Amino acid sequence: MKDIFGSEGLLAAHHEAYEDRPGQLKMAEAVLNAFKEERHLIVEAGTGTGKTLAYLVPAISFAVKNKRRVIISTGTLNLQEQLMERDIPFLQEILPAKFSAAYMKGRANYACLYRIKKSGDQPILSGLDEMGHFERVSEWAFESETGDRAELTDLPDDLPFWSRINARSETCLGQQCPDFEPCFITRMRSRAEQAQIVIVNHHLFFADLNLRGNEYGKVIPDYGAVIFDEAHLIEDIASDYFGVAVSSFQIEELARDADAVPITDAFAVKDLTKILTKVRGFADMFWSRFSEGRGREGRFPLDRNSIERRTRGGETEPTRLGEAYQMLDENLDRLLKALDVHSDKVPEAESLVRRIRQARFDLKFIVGQEEENFVYWLERRGRGTFLRASPIDVSGLLEEKLFDKVKTCVLTSATLSTNGNFDFVRGRLGLDSGRTDTLLAPSTFDYREQAIIYLPRSMPDPRSQEFTQLAAGEILKLLKITEGRAFVLATSFSSMNALYEIVSSRIDYPCFLQGTISKTGLLERFRETPNAVLFGTSSFWQGVDVRGEQLSCVIIDKLPFAVPTDPLVAARTRYIDEHGGRSFFEYSVPSAVITLKQGIGRLIRSTTDHGIIALLDPRLRTKGYGRDFLKSLPDARITTELSDVEAHFKSHTPLRELERGAR
C-alpha cells in the first residue's frame, strides 16, 4: 500500500491532485488486512480522506490475487457512476495488475426492448407533447449498448411513460421473451459475470440479498467480499427490502396489464373484462376506505382493528375496510385463475399470474399483521396509497444473511461513529464485535483553521412559538457576514418553508427553496449564482458537494431527531424499551448525531475551503445529551459570539479576494 499511496508511490506519480494523506494509507492497509484475515471492518473516513481509492486499491489486489469477485455497493447512483467513469479507469491505467470491472443498476434504470416494441398495442403516452420524447427514447434504445436511462441527458428526469417501457422484474418475461438475448438486463448480467469488480448500489444489493435462496434466484453474481460506501444508509434500505409493500399504483398497473394480454379467445376476453371491472371497482373501494379520515399526506400506523373487530362472543367480523379487502382478494384470485389458463401459451399471462400471486401474498401479510417483529403502516403520497410492513430490527437478518455468510464486509462512510466509537452502528447492523475491526481514519482537513462553529448564546427551546422568528434573526445576521453563500438546513419541510418565508423577504441575496425544481437543477443554480442562499431539508443533508467560497456557511436550525410518531421510528424505540433498553439514548440520540454530522459535512469539502457552521438549537448546551453531539463535532473552534464568527470569516477574506482576482 505504501508503494501506491506513499509520497513516492504510484498515485504521486500519476494523480495531478495528489496529496500525502496519512488517513488514506491507514485505511487502505486496514482494508487489505480485513481481506487477508477474513474479518469485517468499519471505517469512518471523513471528507478529504480519499476513501474511494483507499478501498478500491486493496479490493482490486484481493480480487486479482485470489480470483474472487468483490462487490462495491454505494448509497447513490451518482457515486456509482463516479466510480465507474472516473476512479476505475484511472486505476486500470496505472495499476500493474490488470482487472475488469462492471456496474449494475436496478432494473428500472434500463429500457425494455420488448415493451418498447409492444408500445403500439396499448396507449402509454398521456399527451401528444410526449410524442417527441418517446420517439427519441425509442430511437436511442435500439442504438444504445447499455440501455441505461442515464444516457438520456437531453431529456427530462421525470418521463411519465418510462415506467411503462422499463425493464422492471415484475413485468419481465424472462427467457420466454423474444428479446431475451439482446436484452439490456441479460447483457448487464453477462458483463458482471465476467468482471472481478462489480459496482452496484445499496438498493440493488439488498434486493438481491433478499432474493437469494428463494424461487427467484439472484440478481448479482456470486462474490467473495463486499465494500459498502455510504454505509450509514444500510439499516433503512435493508428494512425496505426485507419488508413488504403493496400500493394502489401496483394494483392499478396489474389491471391495466391484464387488459392488454394478447388472448385471442373472444369468450375468454369477455370473461376477463368482467373480472377486471370488479377488480378495479373493489380496488377503488379498498383504497378509498383506507383513506377515510386521513385526508393529509404522511405515514400512519396501520391498526389491525381497522380490518376486523371482535364481537361480544369472541368471534371476529370484518369492518367495512375488511369487507372491501375480502372482495378485492376474491376477485384477484378469479383474475389469477382466468389468466393461468393461458400461461403455457402466452408469456404475458404467466408473468401476470406470478405478479398477482405475489400481490395477494403481500396484501395478506400486511393485513393479517401476524409477524410481531414487523411494523405495519399506511403511507399517503400524492394520489397514491402505500401499505408497508418492515422488520423492526434488521440486525438478526443482516447477521444471518450477510455477515455470517460473507467472510469480509467493509463498511465505510464519513459518519459512522457516535461519541468516538462504533457501538451504535455495530449493534444496529448485527456485526459481531469479535469478528469486526474498526478505524477512525484521520481527515486531512484542518478544521481549527478552516472552520468555526457558532452556537448562539440565547436561543429558546426549539418547541417554543418564538423559536422560528429568533432563528430567522440569527440566520439574517450570519448571511450579512457571509454575504449569502449559505445552506440553511432545516429538520422538516414546515420549518424550511417558514424560515424561507421570513428570511427571503428581508435580504437581497438570491434565495432558492427545495422542491421548486429538481435537486440537480437547484444545486446547479446555487453553484452558478453569486451570493445565493439555499433552503433545504432531508436530501440536502447528505450527498451534496459544493466546493469553494460559493458555500461559505452551513446553518442548521435544530438537532435532527427522527420524528417520534413515524411508525418505523416508534416501533424501533418501543422495541428497545420493551427489551430493557433506553431508546432515547441508545437509538434517538446516536441516529441524530450521525445525521447532524452529515449536515455539517456539507461545508468543508477541500483543503482550501473555509467557513462557518452555525447550530441554532440550544439543547447542545442546555441538555445532558448535548455532550454526545458536541463530542462528535469537527475539531473546530466553538464560540457563542457573533464577533468571533465575523473575525474568522474576515481573516480569510483577503485570500478569497486574491483567488477571485486570479480567476
Domain boundary among 372, 391, 410: 391
Report whether 553 contacts 538 (CB < 8 A).
no
Conformational region of residue 229, where left means phi above 0, alpha means psi within -120 to 50, and beta covers everything else: beta
Check whether residue 408 and residue 495 sit in a common domain: no
- 633 and 615 assigned to the same domain: yes
Gap between the Cα atoms of 405 and 401, Å rounded: 6
Residue 585 makes CB contacts below 8 A (sequence gap 6+) with 625
Is 236 in the same domain as 253? no
| Cα separation, 477 vs 459, whole angstroms | 14
Taking only the tens place, the pLDDT of each residue in 161-176 is 888 888 887 777 788 8
Using CA atoms, how far residue 293 sits from 100, 296, 297, in Å, is 56, 9, 12
Q: How confident is the model over 596-608, as a mean pLDDT?
A: 90
| Same structural domain, 10 and 26 | yes
222 lies in the same domain as 289: no
pLDDT band, residue 655 (cuts 50/70/90): very low
Torsional class of 611: left (φ above 0), alpha (ψ -120 to 50), beta (otherwise): left
User: What per-residue confidence (pLDDT) applies to 257?
Assistant: 87
Based on the domain organization, do 55 and 96 belong to the same domain? yes
Q: Are residues 399 and 387 both part of a single domain?
A: no
Q: What is the DSSP letter of 344?
A: T
Tell me if 120 is assigned to some domain: no
pLDDT of residue 435: 93
Specify whether 587 is located in the same domain as 602.
yes
Question: What is the per-residue DSSP string for 513-578?
Answer: ETTSS-HHHHHHHHHHSTT-EEEE-GGGGSS----STTS-EEEE-S--PPPTTSHHHHHHHHHHHH
Q: Identify whether residues 610 and 646 lie together within a single domain.
A: yes
The per-residue pLDDT for 345 is 87
Task: Note the pLDDT tens digit of each residue in 65-117.
Answer: 999 999 999 988 778 888 999 999 999 999 998 999 999 988 888 999 988 88
Three-state DSSP at 94 gives helix
Asked whether residue 383 falls in the same domain as residue 399, the answer is: no
Judge whether 434 lies within some domain: yes
Q: Read off the DSSP letter of residue 218.
A: -
Residue with the bigger pLDDT between 350 and 304: it is: 350
- Domain-terminating residue out of 381, 414, 441: 441
Question: Taking Cα atoms as reference points, which of 104, 109, 108 lies closest to residue 84?
Answer: 104
Q: What is the mean pLDDT of the chain?
A: 89
Clarify whether residues 359 and 435 are in a common domain.
no
pLDDT-derived band at 314, boundaries 50, 70, 90: low
Number of folded domains that form the chain: 3
How many other CB atoms sit within 10 Å of the CB of residue 67?
A: 9
In a domain, 117, yes or no: no
Q: What confidence category does residue 473 fall into, taking pLDDT thresholds of 50, 70 and 90?
A: very high
Cell of 279: 377488480
- Mean pLDDT calculated for residue range 322-328: 92
Residue 2 dihedral angles phi and psi, to the nearest 5°: -65, -35
Of residues 377, 388, 386, the one with CA closest to residue 247: 386
pLDDT recorded at residue 132: 80
The enclosing domain of 504 has a CATH number of 3.40.50.300
In the predicted structure, residue 238 carries a pLDDT above the cut 70: yes
Domain assignment present for 135: no
Supply the CATH number for residue 364's domain. 1.10.275
Q: Is the pLDDT of residue 514 over 80?
A: yes
Task: Kindly state whether residue 537 falls inside one of the protein's structural domains.
Answer: yes
Range of the domain at 575: 447-662
The answer to whether residue 112 sits within a structural domain is no
At residue 170, the pLDDT reads 72
pLDDT at 153: 77
Burial 434-464 (b: 16+ CB within 10 A, else e): ebbbbbbbbbbbebeebbbbbbbeebeebee
Digit-coded pLDDT (tens) for 135-148: 888 889 899 988 98
Element housing 454 (H / E)? strand 451-454
**pLDDT for the residue numbered 126:** 59
R_g of the chain computed on alpha carbons: 27
- Tell me how far apart the alpha carbons of residues 75 and 620 are, in angstroms, rounded to a whole number: 29
166 within some domain: no
In a domain, 371, yes or no: yes
Mean pLDDT of 333-354: 91
pLDDT recorded at residue 409: 97
Under the banding of pLDDT at 50, 70 and 90, the label for residue 419 is confident
Are 562 and 592 in contact, with CB atoms under 8 Å apart? Answer: yes
Does 418 lie in the same domain as 537? no
| Cell numbers standing for residue 388 | 408497508
Distance, in Å, from the CA atom of 84 to the CA atom of 412, rounded to the nearest integer, reads 18
What pLDDT sits at residue 528? 93
Question: Is the torsion defined by CA of 364, 368, 370, 373 positive or negative?
Answer: positive
